[in-house]
Structure 1
Amino acid sequence: MEKSVQTNEVFIEETFNASIDRVFSAWTDPEKLIRWYAPDGCTIRYKTLDIKPGGKFHSCISNPIHGDCWCIGEYLEIVPNRKIVFTLINADENGQPINPVDIGMDADWPGETKVTVTFSEDKGATTLQLRQTVSQSLATKTGAYPSWLQMLSHMRKIVE
Structure 2
Amino acid sequence: MATGRTDRAERLIAAPAARLFSCWTDPALLIHWLPPRGMSGRVDHFDPRPGGAFRLVLRYEDPEIAGKSGGGEDVVAAEFVALDPPRHLAFVSRFDSDDPQMQGVMRMDWHFDPEAAGTRVRITATHVPPGISAEDHADALASSLAQLAALVE
TM-score interval for Structure 1 and Structure 2 normalised by the shorter chain: 0.7 to 0.9
Q: Give the direction of change, closer, same or farther, for the CA distance of 1:29–1:157 in structure 2 (3 Å limit).
A: same
> What residue in structure 1 maps to residue 69 of structure 2?
none
Aligned to 1:114: 107
Are 2:149 and 1:159 aligned?
no
Partner of 1:69: 74
RMSD between superposed Cα atoms in Å: 2.2
Alignment pair present for 1:81 and 2:86: yes
Residues 55-113 of structure 1: CA deviation (Å, up to 9, x unaligned): 1011110002221111101000000011101012011xxxxxx4434xxxxx3x44220
Alignment partner of 1:47 is 2:28: no
Identity %: 23
Say if 2:13 is the partner of 1:20.
no
The SS at the match of 1:35 is helix
Cα 1:68/1:138, change in 2 over 3 Å: closer
Deviation at 1:139, TM superposition (A): 4.5
The answer on whether the counterparts of 2:27 and 2:43 sit within 8 Å (CA) in structure 1 is no
SS in 2 for 1:120: strand
Code of the aligned partner of 1:100: D
Equivalenced residues, count: 142
Q: Distance in 2 between matches of 1:27 and 1:9?
A: 21
Structure 2 equivalent of residue 149 of structure 1: 142
